[in-house]
């Protein structure tokens, strides 16, 4: 597995496309904090508002209120990481399907934002530390990768987008998080506490903040120790330029 250089030579425009509020923080929050600290321009786009994010301690919150609450939580988490822009595409939580409709939404978003770097998650990751990976995560990753290639950079795909003055655009790099097939590891130790603080902004999703913190601090690399931890985030990186 390769180690990616700590910085790009110039400021990058980075677009993160994931399914739910809290996905950016859990999947790659320390990396986003690192990139923000280096001056890169980051936009997080969430395909849903997470209105089905129910658990034992938020059962009293109606779905519509939960959606609004998770908007606020995501914006607070992004601010903690240093991410300036958050977008919500407002598809229905839990029902994402990587069909042509979702693909077109993402192609539109890529052509609007015109990122150098695009980050999503791995559609092949069926299992997660908590059990079965959420189907929205897999659907989001599949739709994003299908939008990147071959559609985003080819004017013959979704040609009606040209009428919106959305000309083809191809990111230079695609970073795939939550993957079992990484080729890139980042040492994000200085930003791990920031990641934890950002996750803790998602109060509606957290039962015991102290337990969460203990669990996250225990995720140091195998060759490091609690006394001298090294924290890493892993990606599959595809470079087109």
> 169 burial class (0-12, 13-18, 19+ CB within 10 angstroms)?
middle
* Residues whose CB falls within 8 Å of the CB of residue 180, separated by 6 or more in sequence, listed in order: 122, 124, 125
State pLDDT tens for residues 106-126.
Answer: 999 999 999 999 999 999 999
Number of DSSP helices (H) and strands (E) in the chain, helices first: 6, 10
Fold of 12-239: Rossmann fold (3.40.50)
**Per-residue pLDDT, 128:** 79
Residue 112 parent element (H or E): helix 100-113
> 240 burial class (0-12, 13-18, 19+ CB within 10 angstroms)?
exposed
Whether residue 183 has pLDDT greater than 70: yes
* Structural tokens at position 41: 């321009």
State pLDDT tens for residues 122-171.
Answer: 999 999 777 899 999 999 999 999 999 999 999 999 999 999 999 999 99
Please state, as a whole number, how many other Cβ atoms lie within 10 Å of the Cβ of residue 91: 21
C-alpha 198/C-alpha 186 separation (Å) is: 19
Confidence of residue 3 (pLDDT cuts 50, 70, 90): very low
Measuring CA to CA, how many Å separate 95 from each of 19, 115, 140? 10, 27, 11
Whole-model pTM? 0.95
Please state, as a whole number, how many other Cβ atoms lie within 10 Å of the Cβ of residue 184: 16
């Amino acid at each position: 597995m390769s180690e990616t250089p700590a910085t790009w030579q110039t400021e990058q425009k980075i677009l993160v496309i994931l399914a739910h509020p809290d996905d950016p923080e859990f999947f790659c929050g320390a990396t986003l904090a690192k990139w923000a600290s280096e001056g890169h321009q980051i936009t997080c786009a969430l395909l849903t508002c997470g209105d089905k994010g129910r658990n034992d301690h938020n059962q009293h919150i109606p779905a519509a209120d939960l959606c609004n609450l998770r908007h606020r939580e995501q914006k607070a988490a992004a601010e903690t990481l240093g991410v300036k822009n958050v977008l919500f595409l407002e598809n229905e939580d839990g029902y994402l399907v990587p069909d042509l409709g979702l693909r077109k939404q993402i192609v539109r978003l890529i052509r609007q934002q015109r990122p150098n770097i695009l980050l999503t998650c791995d559609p092949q990751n069926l299992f997660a530390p908590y059990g079965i990976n959420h189907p929205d995560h897999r659907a989001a990753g599949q739709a994003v990768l299908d939008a990147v290639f071959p559609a985003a950079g080819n004017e013959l795909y979704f040609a009606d987008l040209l009428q919106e003055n959305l000309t083809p655009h191809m990111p230079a790099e695609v970073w795939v998080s939550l993957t079992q097939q990484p080729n890139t590891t980042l040492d994000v130790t200085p930003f791990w506490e920031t990641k934890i603080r950002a996750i803790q902004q998602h109060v509606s999703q957290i039962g015991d903040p102290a337990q969460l913190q203990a669990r996250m601090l225990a995720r140091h690399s195998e060759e490091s120790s609690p006394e001298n931890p090294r924290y890493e985030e892993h990606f599959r990186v595809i470079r087109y330029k």
